[in-house]
């Protein structure tokens, strides 16, 4: 499959790699989009909604996010290698074990986050990480690549009325030992509580807020452990009047409180909980392979388009760099696709604008506070076009300039036959009118778009639609390209990302066009 640079928006590279981190080879829409959602605040609800352990429905958003991640993972069967964190929870909301407004509310929080290349399962895992740090807990590494299920998993979520042996076996199937079971329950129950409206057989007394919290504090800490050990706990799963549903008491005391004593140390609690929650979100079917941990990318190409305009090919590109307070100068270089136009060293263009953006909380915990965005607008010769590009970063401190070139492979533009045209694309009340450019000459061309559509509150899973394009009568051929447009009914408000497809004289081309914040596209 061919990918045009014009459509590969938000693509990234790294030149200085963190040991043990995912090695990124451009283009990679999966890692690129995950990086945005994890490390750019306000780019996604995952980075912002749980900050400050914000409250909702008389509990914390973080508690709801952490609960759904565990309930989704709990379908895993280590013996058969099936189930795990796979977003099957979207098909399991009618089960008594998954009752509660928080389950559907969390899926609604994340409806705008998946795209064609990033599924809801990855988003749920990111949500669990954000829930922990948003309430003051440890930073947890994130690996990507989970695959969304298309149907419900088995009903294997442990329930409070079950006996200890059932709980031990349930956690064993999920991949956790009896000791790890105690710790994971304590970690999860550091947040939130039990809602009387949902579980009247557990919360039997009147509760003014409807929620009986597990601990007296709101944040992610070991108060739930300390209050259990000193006898001051109000955890209804420990001291509730319904003895049958005292599941936390049975679990916590199952090794004579040895594990709970260990968790009484805040450092031990954070270390153990961080490790177990990381294992929990990485519990996937045996057929799924996750990436290495995704750390903030030192250098990232983003907001990149190539399209015909005014007698040349307009080339828009941005290089995002982790800010180190250096007075950098960044230069874009490129080479021709055919013929000779550029000097031997390559054509070049300086940045026309530099912007700063604060990093997310997770990024700051990793030592990254600010990103700098160096923006470029280059005119590419129509006849020779462009084959690849790279950047030179000069710190202006006497050191040798750094070459950012996709780890020595260059940022290759593998074709310029099918391009997405953001300038001719427009948004209307009736929908988004997308425009694609197909290079002349050609005998036949068929253009379409595969669009990822966000779910609804009734069906909280992403969908898709394919739309056929037509010759664009409002934009006559120009600059060696013919333009095709989508119908005015093309989905706009519900679209998450698009891939343009074209068959031109029997050869297939593809262009990925994710939604770009701030461009109106």
**Pair 205, 222 in one domain:** yes
What integer pLDDT is reported at residue 515 of this predicted model? Answer: 61
Domain's final residue, options 352, 387, 409 = 409
Looking at residues 170-198, what average pLDDT do you find? 97
**Quick check: helix, strand or coil at residue 126?**
helix
pLDDT at 6 over 50: no
Q: Which residue has the higher pLDDT, 100 or 76?
A: 76
Domain's final residue, options 353, 388, 409 = 409
In a domain, residue 1? The reply is no
In a domain, residue 287? The reply is no
What integer pLDDT is reported at residue 490 of this predicted model? Answer: 54
**Pair 149, 248 in one domain:** yes
In a domain, residue 292? The reply is no
| CATH code where residue 400 lies | 2.60.40.2440
> Which residues lie below 8 Å from residue 369, measured CB to CB, with a gap of 6+?
323, 358, 359, 363
**Pair 155, 273 in one domain:** yes
In a domain, residue 35? The reply is no
In a domain, residue 16? The reply is no
Domain's final residue, options 246, 281, 316 = 281
What integer pLDDT is reported at residue 492 of this predicted model? Answer: 55
pLDDT confidence bin for 16, thresholds 50/70/90: very low
Structural domains in the chain (count)? 3
What integer pLDDT is reported at residue 43 of this predicted model? Answer: 82
In a domain, residue 191? The reply is yes
**Displacement of CA 114 from its chain's centroid (Å):** 7
In a domain, residue 240? The reply is yes
In a domain, residue 26? The reply is no
pLDDT at 104 over 80: yes
Is this structure's pTM higher than 0.75? yes
**Pair 250, 134 in one domain:** yes
**Pair 242, 111 in one domain:** yes
User: Domain span at residue 501?
Assistant: 418-514
**Pair 85, 136 in one domain:** yes
**Pair 427, 457 in one domain:** yes
For residue 377, the cross-strand partners are 316
Please spell the DSSP secondary structure of 161-183, one letter per residue: TS-HHHHHHHHHHHT--HHHHHH
**Pair 72, 114 in one domain:** yes
**Pair 165, 187 in one domain:** yes
| CATH code where residue 207 lies | 1.10.520.10
pLDDT confidence bin for 461, thresholds 50/70/90: confident
**Pair 254, 112 in one domain:** yes
Average pLDDT for the chain: 91
**Quick check: helix, strand or coil at residue 492?**
coil
**Pair 266, 171 in one domain:** yes
**Pair 258, 147 in one domain:** yes
């Amino acid at each position: 499959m061919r990918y045009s640079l014009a459509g590969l928006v938000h693509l990234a590279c790294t030149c200085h790699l963190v040991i043990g981190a995912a090695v990124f080879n451009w283009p990679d829409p999966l890692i690129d989009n995950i990086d945005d959602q994890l490390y750019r605040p306000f780019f996604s609800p995952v980075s912002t909604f749980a900050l400050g352990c914000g409250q909702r429905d008389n509990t914390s958003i973080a508690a709801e996010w952490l609960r759904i991640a565990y309930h989704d993972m709990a379908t895993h069967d280590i013996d058969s290698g099936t189930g795990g964190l796979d977003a099957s929870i979207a098909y399991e909301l009618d089960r008594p074990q998954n009752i509660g407004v928080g389950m559907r509310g969390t899926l609604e929080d994340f409806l705008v986050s998946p795209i064609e290349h990033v599924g809801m399962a990855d988003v749920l895992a990111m949500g669990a990480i954000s829930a922990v740090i948003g309430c003051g807990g440890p930073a947890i590494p994130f690996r990507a690549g989970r695959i969304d299920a298309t149907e419900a998993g088995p009903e294997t979520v442990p329930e409070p009325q079950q006996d200890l042996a059932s709980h031990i076996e349930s956690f064993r199937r999920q991949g956790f030992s009896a000791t790890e079971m105690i710790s994971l329950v304590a970690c999860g129950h550091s947040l939130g509580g039990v809602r009387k409206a949902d579980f009247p057989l557990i919360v039997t007394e009147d509760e003014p807020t409807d929620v009986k919290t597990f601990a007296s504090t709101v944040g992610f800490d070991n108060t739930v452990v300390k209050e259990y050990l000193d006898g001051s706990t109000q955890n209804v799963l420990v001291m509730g009047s319904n003895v049958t549903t005292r599941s936390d008491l049975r679990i916590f005391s199952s090794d004579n409180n040895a594990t709970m004593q260990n968790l009484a140390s805040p450092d031990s609690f954070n270390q153990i909980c961080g490790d177990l929650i990381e294992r929990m979100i990485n519990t996937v079917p045996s057929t799924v392979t996750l990436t290495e941990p995704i750390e903030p990318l030192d250098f990232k190409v983003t907001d990149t388009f190539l399209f015909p305009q005014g007698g040349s090919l307009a080339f828009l590109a941005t290089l995002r760099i982790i800010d180190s307070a250096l007075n950098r100068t960044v230069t874009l270089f490129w080479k021709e696709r055919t013929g000779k136009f550029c000097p031997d060293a390559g054509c070049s263009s300086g940045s026309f604008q530099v912007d700063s953006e604060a990093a997310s909380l997770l990024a700051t915990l990793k030592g990254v506070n600010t990103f700098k965005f160096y923006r470029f607008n280059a005119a590419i010769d129509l006849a020779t076009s462009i084959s690849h590009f790279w950047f030179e970063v000069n710190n202006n401190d006497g050191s040798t300039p750094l070459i950012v070139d996709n780890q020595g492979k260059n940022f290759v533009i593998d074709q310029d036959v099918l391009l997405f045209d953001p300038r001719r694309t427009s948004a209307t009340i009736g929908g988004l009118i997308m425009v694609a450019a197909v290079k002349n000459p050609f005998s036949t061309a068929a253009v379409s778009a595969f669009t990822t559509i966000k779910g609804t509150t009734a069906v909280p899973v992403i969908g898709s639609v394919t739309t056929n394009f037509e010759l664009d009568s409002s934009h006559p051929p120009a600059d060696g390209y013919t333009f095709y447009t989508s119908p005015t009914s093309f989905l706009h408000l519900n679209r998450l990302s698009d891939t343009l497809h074209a068959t031109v004289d029997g050869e297939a081309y593809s262009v990925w066009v994710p939604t770009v914040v701030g461009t109106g596209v």
